[in-house]
Amino acid sequence: MSNRAPVPKPGILDIQAYVPGEGSVASGLRPIKLSSNETPLGPSPNAISAYQSVAASLDRYPDGTASELRRAIGRVYGFDPERIVCGCGSDELLNLLAHAYLGQGDEAIFTQHGFLVYRIVTLGNGANPVVAPERNLTADVDAILARVSARTKIVFLANPNNPTGSYLPFDEVRRLRRGLPDTVLLVIDAAYAEYVRRNDYEAGIELVATTDNTVMTRTFSKIHGLAALRLGWAYCPAAIADVLNRIRGPFNVTAPAIAAGVAAIEDKAHTERGVAHNEQWLPWMSAEVEKLGLEVSPSAGNFILIHFPGDDGKGAIAADEFLKSKGIIMRRVAGYGLPNALRMTIGTAEENRLTAAALAEFVRSHRA
C-alpha cells in the first residue's frame, strides 16, 4: 500500500461534520424528541396519501424539473415557477449556492450563532468564513456590513435564526441589502418563516422580487412535517435559478418528495394548525421555564433556547443528562458557541407538559 493518499480540496478538512439532533435514549424509555425542530403535528394526511400513491411507480425517474411542485409553490405564493429551484432539503440549496458563487480565497459572512451549515458549505468550497458578532443573540446589520471586503461573495442570514430564535425585522434586512455591494449575494434562509407572527417580519420575498442578488430558501422539513423526505426550495432571480439548474443533480428531488410536497403546500389548513399550536404552546413553554428562574430567549420560530446558570457549560450538560434519563431529548448548542444553553423544539401538549415537569424537577434537585 502506498503512503500517498488522495488529498481533498483546501478547506474540506477544516470542516467539523454537522452533528444532527439526537433521536434515541436508553432502551425502555419512550423518546420525546425535541432536538430537530420537527413539527409535533406530523405532515398533512394528504401528503402521506400522495407519498404512498407513488409506491406503484418507483421504477420511474422523477420529473427532473419538479415542475408540478414548483407550480404548486408558485400558486400558493404568487411566484413565477421558473424562479423556483427545488432541492434535497434547503441544505442542498445552500450548498449549491455556495458551490456556484464561492471559490478559493472568497469570503462568506454569517453571524456568530448562525446556522452551522453556512460554515460547512463555505469551507467546502474553499472559501473563508467571516463571522459577524451578534447583539443580544440577534444578527447585527452594522457588524455584517463592517466585515464586507472586496472578497465577500455571499452573506448568509437565517431569519429567524436557529438556534437563537431571534429575527431581523424587514426594515433591517432591507438596510442590509442596501448596504451590500450589488455583487454580493444575500441568502435569506427562512426555514421557520411560516411560524413567524410579527408585523415587522417579511420572509424575503419582496427583496427577491425586486433585486438581482437576493435568494430566499425555504424548507418542507419544519411546519410541513416532511423532514424525512428531504425537500426544500429557493426563490431566486431568474439568472440565479438558471445557475442552480445547471449544477444541481438532474434528479435531485425524488418522486415521493414531489408528490408529498405538492399536497403539503396546498393543505393550508394543516399549516395553520401548525401555527396555531405553536402560538399556544411556545408562550406557555417559555413562561413555564421562566417560572423556574431560567432565562429563555424570545423566539419567533418553533423552538426555544433555554439558558442555564453558570458559565462553564456544566448546567446545560447536567440538565441534558437529567432530561435524557426521562426520555426527553433537547439539543446541545455548544457547537453554536452557546455552551450554557439547550434548544427545545415545541412538542405536543403532552410532551410540553412532561418537559416542563422534568425541568422543574431538575431545577429543584439542583437547588437542594
Ligand X SMILES: Cc1ncc(COP(=O)(O)O)c(C=O)c1O
Verify binding: residue 232, ligand X, rule CB under 6 A. yes
| Binding region for ligand X (CB under 6 A) out of 88-96, 201-209, 310-318, 331-339 | 88-96
Residues 6+ apart with CB under 8 A from 189: 90, 94, 115, 156, 157, 158, 159, 216, 217
- Shortest Å, Cβ 311 to ligand X: 26
Nearer to ligand X, 275 or 360 (CB): 275
**How would you write 236-296 as a 3-class SS string?**
CCHHHHHHHHHHCCCCCCCHHHHHHHHHHHHCHHHHHHHHHHHHHHHHHHHHHHHHCCCEE
- Shortest Å, Cβ 192 to ligand X: 7
Nearer to ligand X, 93 or 127 (CB): 93
| Cα distance between residue 349 and residue 37, in whole Å | 15
Position among 90, 122, 138, 254 found at the interface with ligand X (CB under 6 A)? 90
Selection from 166, 175, 103, 187 nearest residue 145 by Cα: 175
Residues 6+ apart with CB under 8 A from 135: 143
Verify binding: residue 303, ligand X, rule CB under 6 A. no
Subset of residues 94 to 133 that bind ligand X, contact rule: CB under 6 A: 115
Q: Which amino acid is at 320?
A: D
Subset of residues 235 to 264 that bind ligand X, contact rule: CB under 6 A: none
**Where do runs of H (alpha helix) occur along 141-180?**
141-146, 170-179
Nearer to ligand X, 302 or 352 (CB): 302
Position among 86, 191, 216, 341 found at the interface with ligand X (CB under 6 A)? 191
Verify binding: residue 219, ligand X, rule CB under 6 A. yes
Residue 307 pairs in a beta bridge with: 295, 341
- Shortest Å, Cβ 132 to ligand X: 16
Nearer to ligand X, 11 or 165 (CB): 165
Position among 11, 43, 62, 89 found at the interface with ligand X (CB under 6 A)? 89
Q: Which amino acid is at 67?
A: S
State whether residue 188 is helix, strand or coil.
strand
Q: How many CB atoms lie within 10 A of CB 160?
A: 26
Nearer to ligand X, 89 or 124 (CB): 89
Please work out the total of residues on this chain that contact ligand X, with binding judged by CB under 6 A: 13
* DSSP string across 41-59: T-S-HHHHHHHHHGGGGTT
Window 32-51: contact mask with ligand X (x via CB under 6 A): -----x--------------
- Shortest Å, Cβ 90 to ligand X: 4
| Binding region for ligand X (CB under 6 A) out of 50-58, 83-91, 122-130, 338-346 | 83-91
At 43, list the grid cell.
Answer: 405532515
| Cα distance between residue 297 and residue 303, in whole Å | 10
> Do 72 and 261 touch, CB atoms closer than 8 A?
yes
Verify binding: residue 162, ligand X, rule CB under 6 A. yes
Verify binding: residue 91, ligand X, rule CB under 6 A. yes
- Shortest Å, Cβ 236 to ligand X: 16
Residue 118 burial (10 A CB sphere; 0-12, 13-18, 19+): buried
Verify binding: residue 297, ligand X, rule CB under 6 A. no
Verify binding: residue 166, ligand X, rule CB under 6 A. no
Verify binding: residue 159, ligand X, rule CB under 6 A. no
Position among 95, 221, 278, 352 found at the interface with ligand X (CB under 6 A)? 221
Torsions phi, psi of 234, nearest 5? -125, 140
Q: Which residues bind ligand X (CB under 6 A)?
A: 37, 89-91, 115, 158, 162, 189, 191, 219, 221, 227, 232
